[in-house]
């Protein structure tokens, strides 16, 4: 009974007492009768001489009020401390559990469960399953650590096996109690474990959390003074979970209790106003053609001012975001073309990460309809092979970036004119290695470097005495415009140096991005 009385005198609720005993069967925490039985069993096993009477409540009457919430006694708030607390001072019992601040009691009531269920319903997500994630105020690990330290000093023989996982256990107990009840109200399946896509995020707050954490200044004033003096470095957060853990773990129990002999008083319960839903990102992939020479791939701003009204990204993503009801997006592609370059052939592979999507279940027919809507909304862009892919699949977009090949057609001009013999000398070139310094036109946004790039195929089609088409297959990342005009000698060799003539480029098309991803769909 000594350990039990100690935890009662400290001010722990029954669920917390069972957690200190290391009981890991989460289902047993749902029913107060089972909790009492498990505590009684633990006491009997550890102290055979103890009374066999049930502990915690008067079994002659149905528990009411705080007792139903898992508190040890109906006079919990007023009964004088008659036990021996060891390192903890004697004082009136708190009205809230000293350890969990009633997370495992009031936080499990019908009112809070209904509120959490409404948050899920109001979110209007079509996910069929959900999990619950809880982020605890920093005062809870502080409180639990102090109680454990005092408990182990008072009872050295008491098992400390579950001490390191106590916070996790508290979270799991709470989730296991509220989860099934939320399930019955929302008609969504409650799941536990990692990597559940749809989550209810609950962030209970405690009014005196910062005040409680100031106690840690007694342990490590230098650390927290430094964090206060450098707010930008620590995002204005003086106390964080990692900082609190670091300080607590750096002191022995004896050292800790000398400085912090007891947990902070529980002045209030937790507030549950901060609740919201999140869903893991959904990824939509496809290939796009770009037919305009006045359209950037992504929104184009210079010094905060928009240069061109739209972009490939916006023409595609607006309808996708609307359909899937995402909060925001991230657009990625296999390379990018300049604003004045068309993208033809099979198109350029792309993927859209849709952040916090509300609609995730789209059939193949619905994806086809969405693709058709995008294509009918503009004549500047066309989308093919639109489909939902997994996160693991998108690595294909960037893998072997420099090993991919791309095919181009460039309309070129030789101002002084040319004859067939001049262009014929290009036929003998089977492959070419270029040394390209970062082009002047992109030097403001890319680091200065010299990159080696390969041209695998090269051929020409004369149009008249000045103009000709240049067909190339190159290593991805090759600057085609600079290969043609030389970029003031920053690309060597270049077409002008090979022909011995000034050559310039009039227009450029991407004809193929040789990446077989995403998988082709029936068109």
The answer to whether position 503 is within a domain reads: yes
Q: Are residues 139 and 232 in the same domain?
A: yes
Question: Same structural domain for residues 57 and 22?
Answer: yes
Confidence of residue 46 (pLDDT cuts 50, 70, 90): low
CATH classification at residue 362: 3.30.70.2510
- On whether both 449 and 324 belong to a single domain, the answer is no
pLDDT at 68 over 80: no
pLDDT given for residue 273 in this prediction: 93
- Note down the domain range covering 473: 405-513
The answer to whether residue 109 sits within a structural domain is: yes
Is the domain of 171 the same as that of 27? yes
The pLDDT assigned to 332 comes to: 96
Same domain, 335 and 268: no
* Domain finish residue from 378, 398, 418: 398
Domain shared by 153 and 224, yes or no: yes
Average pLDDT over residues 469-484: 96
**In this model, does residue 252 exceed pLDDT 90?**
yes
CB 377 within 8 A of CB 315: yes
Number of domain units in the chain: 3
Mean pLDDT confidence for 483-495: 97
Q: Does a structural domain hold residue 145?
A: yes
In a domain, 523, yes or no: no
β-bridge mates for residue 287, sequence order:
349, 384
| pLDDT over 80 at 59, yes or no | no
Residue 509 CB-density burial (10 A; 0-12 exposed, 13-18 middle, 19+ buried): buried
Is residue 346 helix, strand or coil? strand
pLDDT tens, residue by residue, 69-115: 333 333 233 333 333 334 444 455 567 999 999 999 999 999 999 99
Domain annotation covers residue 437: yes
> Would you say residue 75 lies in a domain?
yes
Q: How far apart are CA 401 and CA 406, in angstroms?
A: 11
Whole-number Å distance between alpha carbons of 245 and 224:
13
pLDDT-derived band of residue 420, with 50, 70 and 90 as boundaries?
confident
- The pLDDT value recorded for residue 78 is 34
- Token pair in block for residue 139: 């005062």
pTM of the model: 0.83
Q: Are residues 292 and 365 both part of a single domain?
A: yes
Query: Between 49 and 284, whose confidence is greater?
Result: 284
Residues 71 and 147 in one domain: yes
Domain identity same for 205 and 80: yes
Which of 248, 278, 308 is the endpoint of a domain?
278
pLDDT band, very low/low/confident/very high, at 388 (cuts 50, 70, 90)? very high
pLDDT band at 265 (very low <50, low <70, confident <90, very high): very high
**Residues 385 and 460 grouped into a single domain:** no
When pLDDT is averaged across residues 159-168 and rounded to a whole number, the result is 91
Is residue 521 a part of any domain in this protein?
Answer: no
List CB contacts of 421: < 8 A, sequence separation 6 or more.
none
Is residue 217 scored above 50 in pLDDT?
yes
Q: Are residues 288 and 273 in the same domain?
A: no
In this prediction, residue 162 has a pLDDT band, given cuts at 50, 70 and 90, of confident
Comparison of pLDDT for 227 and 295, the residue scoring more: 295
Which of 398, 416, 449 represents a domain boundary (last residue)?
A: 398
For residue 519, being part of any structural domain is answered with: no
> In percent, how much of the chain has pLDDT > 70?
90
Which residues form the catalytic set? 338
Whether residue 350 sits in one domain with residue 498: no
Average pLDDT over the chain reads 89
Using a 10 angstrom Cβ sphere, with 0-12 exposed, 13-18 middle and 19 or more buried, the burial of residue 278 is middle
Task: Find the CATH number of the domain harbouring 454.
Answer: 3.30.70.3190
């Amino acid at each position: 009974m000594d350990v039990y009385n100690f935890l009662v005198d400290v001010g722990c609720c029954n669920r917390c007492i069972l957690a200190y005993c290391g009981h890991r069967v989460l289902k047993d925490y749902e029913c107060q009768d089972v909790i009492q039985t498990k505590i009684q069993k633990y006491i009997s096993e550890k102290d055979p001489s103890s009374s066999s009477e049930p502990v915690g409540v008067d079994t002659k009457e149905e528990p009411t009020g705080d007792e139903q919430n898992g508190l040890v006694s109906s006079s919990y708030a007023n009964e004088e401390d008659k036990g021996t607390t060891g390192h903890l001072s004697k004082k009136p019992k708190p009205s809230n559990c000293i350890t969990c601040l009633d997370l495992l009691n009031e936080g499990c009531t019908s009112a809070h469960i209904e509120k959490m269920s409404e948050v899920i319903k109001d979110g209007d997500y079509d996910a069929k399953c959900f999990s619950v994630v809880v982020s605890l105020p920093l005062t809870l690990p502080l409180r639990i650590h102090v109680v454990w330290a005092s408990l182990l000093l008072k009872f050295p023989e008491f098992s400390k096996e579950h001490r390191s996982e106590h916070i996790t256990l508290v979270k799991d107990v709470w989730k296991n109690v509220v989860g099934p009840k939320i399930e019955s109200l929302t008609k969504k399946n409650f799941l536990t474990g990692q990597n559940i896509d749809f989550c209810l995020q609950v962030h209970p707050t405690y009014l005196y959390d910062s005040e409680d954490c100031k106690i840690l200044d007694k342990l490590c004033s230098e650390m927290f003074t430094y964090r206060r003096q450098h707010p930008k470095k620590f995002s204005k957060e003086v106390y964080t979970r990692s900082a609190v853990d670091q300080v607590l773990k750096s002191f022995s129990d004896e050292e800790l209790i000398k400085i912090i002999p007891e947990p902070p008083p529980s002045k209030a319960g937790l507030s549950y106003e901060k609740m919201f839903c999140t869903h893991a990102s959904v990824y939509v992939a496809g290939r796009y053609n770009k037919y305009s020479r006045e359209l950037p791939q992504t929104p184009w701003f210079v010094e905060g001012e928009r240069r061109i009204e739209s972009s490939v990204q916006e023409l595609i993503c607006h309808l996708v975001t609307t359909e899937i009801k995402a909060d925001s997006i991230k657009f990625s592609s296999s390379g990018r073309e300049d604003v004045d370059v068309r993208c033809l052939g099979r198109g350029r592979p792309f993927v859209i990460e849709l952040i916090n999507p509300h609609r995730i279940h789209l059939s193949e027919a619905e994806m086809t309809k969405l693709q058709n809507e995008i294509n009918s909304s503009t004549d500047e862009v066309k989308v093919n092979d639109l489909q939902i892919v997994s996160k693991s699949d998108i690595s294909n977009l960037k893998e072997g970036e420099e090993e991919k090949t791309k095919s181009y057609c460039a309309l070129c001009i030789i101002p002084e004119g040319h004859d067939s013999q001049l262009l014929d000398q290009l036929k003998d070139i089977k492959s070419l290695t270029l040394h390209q310094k970062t082009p002047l036109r992109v030097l403001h946004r890319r680091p200065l470097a010299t990159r080696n790039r390969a041209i695998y195929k090269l051929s020409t089609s004369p149009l008249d005495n000045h103009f000709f088409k240049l067909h190339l297959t190159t290593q991805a990342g090759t600057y085609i415009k600079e290969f043609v005009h030389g970029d003031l000698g920053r690309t060597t060799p270049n077409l002008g140096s090979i022909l011995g003539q000034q050559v310039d480029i009039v227009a450029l098309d991407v004809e193929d991005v040789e990446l077989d991803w995403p998988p082709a769909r029936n068109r």
